Amino acid sequence: MLRLIANTRTNICFRGITRAMLAAAAVAITLMAAPIVQAVPQKGGVANIAMIGEPQTLDPMSSTADLVGTIMQHVYELLYTYDANSNVVPMLAEALPTVSKDGLVYTIALRHGVKFHNDKEMTSEDVVASLERWMQMAPRGKAVAKEVKSVEAKGPYTIVITLNRPYAPLVAHLALSNGFAAIMAKDSIANPLTQFVGTGPYMFKERKPDQYVQLVRFEGYSARKEPASGYGGKREALLDELRFIPVPNANTRVEGMLAGQYQFADVLPVEAYSRLENAPNVKPVLTSPFGFPYMVLNTKQGPLVNVTLRQSVEAGLNNADMMAAAFGDKKFYDTDPNHYAKNTPFYSTAGTENYGKGDAKKAAALAATAKYDGTPIRILTSQQYDFHYRIALVMAENLKAAGYKVDMQVVDWSTLIQRRNDPALWDIYITHSAVLPEPTLTPPQLGDGAPGWWSSPGKDAALAAFNAEANPKKRAALWGDVQRVVFTEVPYIRIGDFNNLTARSTKLDGYVAMPWPFFWNTGLSK
Amino acid sequence: MIRYLASRLAGMVIVMLIVATLVFIITRLAPGDPAAVMLGEQATAADIAKLRGTYGLDQPLPVQFAYWLSELAHGNLGQSIFLQRPVTQALAERAEPTFFLTVFALGIAMLIGIPSGIVAAVWRGKAVDHAFSAFAMLGASIPSFWFGLVLMEIFAVGLGWFPVAGYGDPGVPLSNRLYHLILPSIVLGVVNSALILRFTRASMLDVLGEDHIRTARAKGMSEARVVLHHALRNALIPVITVVGLTFALLIGGAIVTETVFGLPGVGNLVVSAVLRRDYPVIQGALLVIAGLYVLINLSIDLMYLVIDPRVKY
């Protein structure tokens, strides 16, 4: 999960929320302090990469933590991945799948001659075993498993996935490198994993908790031929070794970059931007958009079960003020009401007229219509993520201005994620998520059973149509219907988008900013 | 003496039992759930319940407590939920940086605190006394994270003399790892020297006012001999007490400094465990720290015998 703001206490990684991957549909736009003009990367050297904390596991399936995915995407690969424009492209698969006319059967041809780190060739048996494990144990895989009837090998280099009903997001799930469908050598599969045998450009060497995770170049790596683009295309391990070092204190990551101890530092405090910009040996890198803070409303129990009251809350909130309080400079956030940016496949303005502008009168009128009886609205938030807390403070004032009584409950993150599972304990909680290229990947409230427990005929109809449609252009239009239902029924409120500040050494050549940073095709200049 | 030792050791067992009970209760009274933290945002209630079952967290608390105690009796502190390894192993891996950091920091604190305390007492009320008192106030007031960042900025980023953070690259020798401890040791040493300085000064002032010191001076003994031989030795008992307590506190309490300097020590381990609700690690670490605390206290009491012949047990 990501952490964005300078907050010395926050940097232990609680992982559940994913970090922004692929910039909204299109572009992980890299706003650099200088244009990306870099020397040709050279082979050799070691990169020290300062991460926000210690990964709680190295099993890429079992956790949706950003840390885990970021590190292990170098070791394990997927059947598919995303290019720089958020298109799904093949990685270990030979090509995009062949889909039957009824949308139920996906036939996936595998690449020949791909070697695992144990020098054995990848075959359909490994892929089937990996996908089965993913569907059994990974939070994301379990969601997909409900839609899957069978996964079978058809010869050594082909697999066939048969669905219970048409499910268009399948390939997007298979391409996401977070809680991911990593392809593992079948004989290394165990629970828990004790060997990390993938096909990636780097091999796992050693982990010393709270010190480093050490990866070294895999000399037998089988690269794709296409030019590199985003996470897709040709990958080459130029650096001899990658060391992912947990540095929980954000200020220490900044100092380490300035001192030249790290070649890359992740998730830096926005207050450090000018120092990084002025340092001769460092380049700040902004990934935009990176994630979005959102608040979940309890639709199961308490006053906000009433949809009119939820609409009142939506009208009364000033999203622009909340984002300003949370992130300061506009360089670090955006307040577009649409869930996906312009020029991206899922851009839609449907329902955005309801995006909160702090209209206290309208909120009060809707509250009166809903016969609000003065029951305090319990806001559950945490200072673990400083921006959550700042958003909550503004929200509380907005609600009070609209005539609500507010009960702010500030707890630590572990407590929050426990309490949010009990509908009796809260009315609104604040969290954040990634900007992911496929809408159904996040937030979990678009699925079933997530805290908030949103369930309605409108939701079911909009999502059923969206998930059943395989045609990308038609899906884009259908997403507008889902977005409209979200703005109308208000199960959650997406406040805006925020960007991520990272930094790289000026000697780190070939680095391409993506939400989950990767270091293949990256080298050190002499 | 033997009876005294036996009674102290028996007392230790009782103290540890009380500590174990309190640690377990306090840990479990805190809200939060390691399974929910571990599985993350996408996990369903069923996933969380299943993982809780895997680690026995679905059992009634008395059952969990009894199981933990029975494991403790066999020397097993349990298995970390997050680290997937025994708590004893996790603690052992982090013992080295914490131990050396504590020793270095305490050494620096003593080197600053004891001579300064003596000087301040001997020249009581003079400029040097006021200067050291001001230093002590400053040392006690400086937040260690801020002081750490300042030293980092000057000596690591600016001058490049020391690494910013971490505990060395893979496979480096011990000397290189210890080099990474210099800045954090200075931070902890300076911050903790204030207390030692104050205690040394106060104790020395008490002793310097006593009759035997006046007698020694009347006999024409040199001031240096009076202070260092007669006064200091008698003033050392409270100083040793505070040094011992500082040592015990540093063993488990260098949390902020370890976090700022990215040191893989016990303090860092405890903080991570608390935030993740990794119950076995929290319980195991606190128990070990409490045990060390009790042992150090016992050692201090025994050292009185060596320093002051008047003390008898």
**3-state secondary structure string, A224-240?**
CCCCCECCECCCCCCCC
Residues of chain B contacting A259 with CB distance shorter than 8 Å: 156-157, 160, 163-164
For chain B, say whether A15 makes contact (Cβ under 8 Å): yes
**Higher-pLDDT residue of A40, B206:** B206
Share of chain B above pLDDT 90, in %: 24
Out of A209, A256, A415, closest to residue B165 by CB: A256
CB contact under 8 A, B163 and A8: no
Confidence of residue B104 (pLDDT cuts 50, 70, 90): very high
Q: What is the mean pLDDT of residues A339-353?
A: 88
Of B31, B38, B268, the CB nearest to A56: B38
User: What confidence score (pLDDT) does residue A454 get?
Assistant: 95
B271 vs A302, residue with greater confidence: A302
Positive/negative CA dihedral, B211, B212, B215, B220: negative
Residues of chain A with pLDDT > 70: what percent?
92
The model's confidence at residue A344, banded by pLDDT at 50, 70 and 90, is confident
Residues 152-171 of A with CB under 8 A from B: none
Neighbours of A380 (CB within 10 A): 27
Q: Write the residue in A243, A412, A444 that is nearest to B41 by C-beta.
A: A444
Distance from CA of A190 to the nearest CA of B (A): 14
The pLDDT assigned to B42 comes to: 66
Mutate to test the interface with B, among A191, A210, A242 (most CBs of B within 10 A): A210
Those residues whose C-beta lies under 8 Å from the C-beta of residue B90, and which sit 6 or more positions away, are A209, B80, B83, B269, B281
* Mean per-residue pLDDT of chain B: 86
pLDDT band at A62 (very low <50, low <70, confident <90, very high): confident
CA distance A197 to A183: 9
- Between positions 220 and 249 of A, the ones with CB within 8 A of B are 243, 245-249
Interface test with B, best of A59, A66, A211 (most B CBs within 10 A): A211
Instruction: Write down the pLDDT at residue A40.
Output: 63
**Percentage of chain B modeled with pLDDT above 70:** 97
Rounded (5°) CA angle A289-A290-A296: 105
When CB atoms are compared, the residue of A56, A243, A414 closest to B33 is A414
Quote the pLDDT of residue A34: 40
* Cβ–Cβ under 8 Å, residues A177 and A516: yes
Has residue A505 got a pLDDT over 60? Answer: yes
B260 vs A139, A252, A431: nearest CB: A252
| Side chain identity, residue A323 | M
Window from A292-306, A461-475, B101-115 with minimum mean pLDDT: A461-475
Q: Give me the mean pLDDT over the A493-505 stretch.
A: 95
Of B2-6, B89-93, B257-261, least confident by mean pLDDT is: B2-6
Is A12 an interface residue toward B (CB < 8 Å)? yes
Predicted confidence (pLDDT) at residue A234 exceeds the cutoff of 70? yes
> Given pLDDT bands bounded at 50, 70 and 90, which one contains residue A397?
very high
The amino acid at B78: G
Q: Count A/B contacts: CB-CB distance under 8 Å.
A: 161
Looking at chain A, the whole-number percentage of residues with pLDDT higher than 90 is 69
- State residue A502's pLDDT score: 95
Separation between Cα atoms, residue B183 and residue B177, nearest integer Å: 12
User: Cβ contact (<8 Å) for B44 and A1?
Assistant: no
ipTM of model over 0.85: no
pLDDT of residue A26: 35
Give pTM, 2 decimals. Answer: 0.83
Over range B240-267, report the average pLDDT. 84
- Other Cβ atoms less than 10 A from the Cβ of B219: the count is 8
Mean residue pLDDT of chain A comes to: 88
User: Nearest Cα to A4, choosing from A289, A221, A400?
Assistant: A289
- Which residue from B40, B90, B277 is facing A65, i.e. has the nearest CB? B40
Residue B105 contacts by C-beta under 8 Å, 6 or more apart in sequence? B184, B185, B187, B188, B189, B192, B250, B254
CA distances, B286 to each of A4, A129, B23, B162, B252 (Å): 31, 42, 7, 32, 8
CB contact under 8 A, A252 and B152: yes
- pLDDT value of position B207: 87
Distances, alpha carbon A504 to alpha carbons A23, A396, B105, B280, in Å = 19, 38, 34, 38
Arithmetic mean of pLDDT, A352-371: 94
- Test B276 with A449 for CB contact under 8 angstroms: no
Contact present, A296 and A492 (Cβ < 8 Å): yes
